[in-house]
Amino acid sequence: MPFKSGFVAIVGRPNAGKSTLVNTLVGQKVSIVSPKPQTTRNRVQGILNREDAQIVLIDTPGIHKPETALNRMMVDELENTLDGLDVLSLIVDASASFGAGDRFALEWIRRFTGPAFLLLNKIDRVAKPLLLPLIDRYRKEFDFAEVYPISALTGAGCFDLVSGWIARLSEGDPYFPADQFTDQPERFLAAEIIREKAILATHEEVPHALCVLVDDFEEGQGIVRMRATIYVEREGQKGILIGKGGATLKKIGTQARRELESILGTKLFLESFVKVQPNWRQNPAMVRQLDWRRQLEQLADLQGPSESV
């Protein structure tokens, strides 16, 4: 059988399960997950390698209206996703009721002219008879090429889904080496894992006010030395993040280190700091620092076109 390869994007409103699905299919954490909406800020590519195919899965920030500089970057990330895509997949939480967010997501996918799949997620939490009316409801709104009930958490229905995607891909070589599972630089993934642990350790407004920048990432013999700063917007948030006697920050650091050691396959020496940067989400310069893809492009521009031999 000829090898197939291509790009599949997962879009949907915040909390539908986009990142969970990508992680489950890749078999590695490439995108952070939390019960709090709007965790994913950048477009993340996870690579699903099979003997007969390679699917580059694009996890996207949730579809919502742009408000801050940060939200605008997230919407731009979504727009850039449509280029060169083979299948667009709208994922919805089948256990939640249809709302304004779903309507907005449906409006959004009309921009794509190729095949769009509907994924009804979280079927581990939904009684089967409730699925058919939901499918009808969505089919009335949009002409989906295919519909898959799945559970991103348990993997139910995911095998069929992957076969459905592969059927729509073209013959072609893989885009990435077969042992690569994401296109993110390791230091960015590391910052994301720290952010995930910080989100899980805090609540209310703190998770949204967090960002993590890596100040230093040095790879040595079997060890990575890393320094990271967690930014928040207010003094009170800083206090919450550090916790009594530094206990919360310590817990975040330990959890992040353990997970990163297993992902990177090395020992990790991690130092983390907390700083206040008022209103960073409104600050374009700060938001640009979170956008590693654009940073890499700018670096390439600075270096100019590669010399021909």
Question: Does 14 help bind ligand GDP (rule: CB under 6 A)?
Answer: yes
Q: Which does 17 bind (CB under 5 to 8 A by kind): ligand GDP, Mg ion, none?
A: ligand GDP
| Out of 125, 139, 203, 275, the residue judged to bind ligand GDP by CB under 6 A | 125
Nearer residue to ligand GDP within complex by CB, 14 or 243 = 14
**Do 55 and 75 contact (CB within 8 A), yes or no?**
no
| Out of 54, 81, 151, 184, the residue judged to bind ligand GDP by CB under 6 A | 151
Nearer residue to ligand GDP within complex by CB, 17 or 46 = 17
Question: Does 40 help bind Mg ion (rule: CB under 5 A)?
Answer: yes
Question: Does 101 help bind ligand GDP (rule: CB under 6 A)?
Answer: no
Stretch that binds ligand GDP, among 7-15, 46-54, 111-119, 259-267 (CB under 6 A): 7-15
Binding residues among 49-88 for ligand GDP as defined by CB under 6 A: 62
Q: Which does 6 bind (CB under 5 to 8 A by kind): ligand GDP, Mg ion, none?
A: none
Stretch that binds Mg ion, among 10-18, 79-87, 137-145, 218-226 (CB under 5 A): 10-18
| Out of 69, 90, 152, 263, the residue judged to bind ligand GDP by CB under 6 A | 152
Q: What distance in Å separates the CA atoms of residue 117 and residue 146, rounded to the nearest whole number?
A: 5
Nearer residue to Mg ion within complex by CB, 18 or 238 = 18
Instruction: Read off the tokens for 97.
Output: 């009721």
Size of interface with ligand GDP, in residues (CB under 6 A):
22
What secondary structure, in 3-state letters, does the chain show? CCCEEEEEEEECCCCCCHHHHHHHHHCCCCCCCCCCCCCCCCCEEEEEECCCEEEEEEECCCCCCCCCHHHHHHHHHHHHHCCCCCEEEEEEECCCCCCHHHHHHHHHHCCCCCCEEEEEECHHHCCHHHHHHHHHHHHHHCCCCEEEECCCCCCCCHHHHHHHHHHHCEECCCCCCCCCCECCCHHHHHHHHHHHHHHHHCCCCCHHHCEEEEEEEEECCCEEEEEEEEEECCHHHHHHHHCHHHHHHHHHHHHHHHHHHHHHCCEEEEEEEEEECCCHHHCHHHHHHCCHHHHHHHHHHHHCCCCCC
Least CB distance to ligand GDP at residue 24 (A): 8
Binding residues among 36-55 for ligand GDP as defined by CB under 6 A: 37, 39-40
Nearer residue to ligand GDP within complex by CB, 149 or 268 = 149
Q: What distance in Å separates the CA atoms of residue 272 and residue 238, rounded to the nearest whole number?
A: 13
Question: Does 19 help bind Mg ion (rule: CB under 5 A)?
Answer: yes
Nearer residue to ligand GDP within complex by CB, 35 or 305 = 35
Phi-psi region of 276 (alpha: psi -120 to 50; beta: other; left: phi over 0): beta
Least CB distance to ligand GDP at residue 193 (A): 14
Residues near ligand GDP (CB under 6 A): 12, 14-20, 33-35, 37, 39-40, 62, 121-122, 124-125, 151-153
Residues near Mg ion (CB under 5 A): 18-19, 40
